[in-house]
Chains A and B, each alone.
Chain A
Amino acid sequence: QSGVTQPPSVSGAPGQRVTISCTGSSSNIGAGYDVHWYQQFPGTAPKLLIYGNINRPSGVPDRFSGSKSDTSASLVITGLQAEDEADYYCQSYDSSLSAVVFGGGTKVTVL
């Protein structure tokens, strides 16, 4: 079994920087597959936040940024705002599973 793993929760005060990790393996992120990130508020559909590891779709604030290195990826929120309180998911592909995989999701709490 493989897949990608996220911390269940992270928190920070307004204005702080928070980082969400997405840890994979040699069959997914480490194999060179891209990572995409999604933001989801309760009761609503997910929204694409970062694609291709580092790219922001039009309309996504630049306080959201993504990176990828070796077998992991990260989503960074700089200047955390109350409206950023949501669930965040990473997504990639796993060749050993032959499947699109999502991380378990990370709940961001603004203190």
Chain B
Amino acid sequence: EVQLVESGGGLVQPGGSLRLSCGVSGFTVSSYWMSWVRQAPGKGLEWVANIQKDGNEQFYADSVKGRFIISRDNAKNSLYLQMSSLRAADTAVYYCARAPMLRGLPRFDSWGQGALVTVAS
């Protein structure tokens, strides 16, 4: 069974940093692109970042570029999101997702349960 489990969410002050982790099981993580997608309270889905299978290429939404870093450790079956210079607008549930590519576009075919990040003083 495919499982993705996020951890590391919590309350952080504006300007602070936080690192999310996503542990995966039930599939060979090195065979897939992986992604982070977030959802602000009561709002829609927003793509955050993608990372290539071997971790050599990363892609970011403009809203997080230069502040967030996506990384992976295939040996540990894990995905990470290092978030810095956090703003109130970053408050959201953050989902990690498996992202197989189809004709150059990722489809998010498995999701974690989400980790809530709250940025407030």
Contact = CB atoms under 8 A, between A and B. Distances in A.
B113 interface: yes
A45 B111 contact: yes
Interface stretch (A14-22, A63-71, A77-85, A93-101): A93-101
Contacts of B59: 98
B6 to A, nearest CB: 10
B44 A102 contact: yes
Interface residues of B, number: 24
A99 B65 CA distance: 12
Interface in B95-115: 95, 102-114
Chain A interface size band reads: 20 to 34
Contact of A46 (B50, B102, B106, B111): B111
Looking at B45, B110, B113, the one whose CB has the most chain A CB atoms below 10 A away is: B45
Nearest to B106: A100
B62 A97 contact: yes
Given A48-B109, A52-B103, A93-B105, A104 B114 contact: no
A102 B104 CA distance: 16
A41 to B, nearest CB: 12
Interface of A: 33-34, 36, 38, 40, 44-48, 51-52, 57, 89, 91-93, 97-105
Interface of B: 35, 37, 44-47, 50, 59, 61-62, 95, 102-114
